[in-house]
Structure 1
Amino acid sequence: MNLPDLKILRALQQDASRSIADLAEVVSLSSNAVWKRLRRLEAEGYVERRVAVLDRRKLGLPVTVFVSVRTDQHSQRWAEEFAAAVGEVEEVVEFYRMAGDVDYLLKIVCADIDDYDRIYRKIIAAVPLRDVSASFAMEQLKYTTELPLSRIGERRS
């Protein structure tokens, strides 16, 4: 990964709505060169998609819940059913299969405790689970969608 490409990616992470002309100014290249680089970065999968980051509080979703799931079921069929069921719950914004004591970790955004309970009931009805434990975030101390790019070139050298 070369420096101009990293600069383009960094600029897009900060504001995906930037114009090609603005990106060209940031990376000190012509608009045509930036356009070609951006198309290549997209084709190679470095840019998965461009999105808007919304204010969840203004949308009535102030509560963040981290849900740990443990199961005794480890068959492929069960895992697929669980993933499909969780995938249909739009309030689940992140979903991971874990190593260690917890089998799955979910990040849920919702309106309040009652809203979380509705989501919880939907999840536990989908497949058999051994344990579901919820932790409610009290305060968000850091949040970013930007990936750390500053040392990418160093690691690939």
Structure 2
Amino acid sequence: MKATQRKDSLRLDETDRRILRAMQADARLTTAELADRVGLSTTPCWNRLKRLEKQGYIDGYVALLNQEKLGLPETVIIEITLDRHDEEVLERFGELLAGLPEVIEAYLTTGDYDYLVKVAVESTAGYERFLREKLYRIPGIRHSRSSFALRCLKKLTSIQV
């Protein structure tokens, strides 16, 4: 965490934290509903929310989609090692990986593998197609290891504030 980020987080008071918690629980709240939940009148609540957005505490607002209803019930975790680790290779691989629609999360990591990737597919056959037709066509992969998730035990869409 950067020093400026630490300073900003120290400037959050309890009301700011209540606003952030309420928005994490339901980002569709109207300003009046949000103000009521956090104990403010509408205008000060709106001003605080806009400040939190402007300062970068809120990255955006999204709808959480149901993976299974969309026909993509299988989650696969892939660990990937690259042949080389120069900046150009890492940047190009990251760009191409992020462009694959099956990829729902991807992290450049430390340790035995370079990337940890989470994909959503419709089946084992769909995963094989993803590997052969998309992932393995990205140059630079030395090794990969895959694990199918059997069940999600915990899934957070936010962090505690």
TM-score when normalising by structure 2: 0.89
Distance 1:90 1:112 in 2: 15
**Residue in 2 that maps onto 1:30:** 41
Residues 21-80 of structure 1: CA distance to partner in whole angstroms, max 9, x if unpaired? Answer: 111011100110110001000001100100111111111111000000012310111111
2:108 matched to 1:92?
A: no
Structure 1 CA distance, aligned partners of 2:47 and 2:123?
46
Residue among 131, 144, 150 paired with 1:138: 150
Paired position in structure 1 for 2:6: none
By how many angstroms is 1:120 displaced? 1.5
Counterpart of 1:123 (choices 135, 142, 153) is 135
Identical columns (%): 38
114-123 vs 64-73, which moves further: 114-123
Residue 108 of structure 1 aligns to a residue whose secondary structure is strand
Q: Which deviates the most, 115-124 or 59-68?
A: 115-124
User: Runs in 1 of length 4+ with deviation above 4 angstroms?
Assistant: none
Q: Secondary structure at the match of 2:153?
A: coil
Aligned alpha-carbon RMSD (Å): 0.9
> 2:55 — aligned with what?
44
Secondary structure of the corresponding residue to residue 141 of structure 2: coil
Larger RCO (alpha carbons 8 Å, 6+ apart): 1
CA distance in structure 2 between the aligned counterparts of 1:75 and 1:119, rounded to whole angstroms: 26
Contiguous gaps of at least 5 residues in structure 2: 1-11
Aligned residue pairs total 149
SS in 2 for 1:64: strand
The gaps in structure 1 that reach 5 residues or longer are 150-157
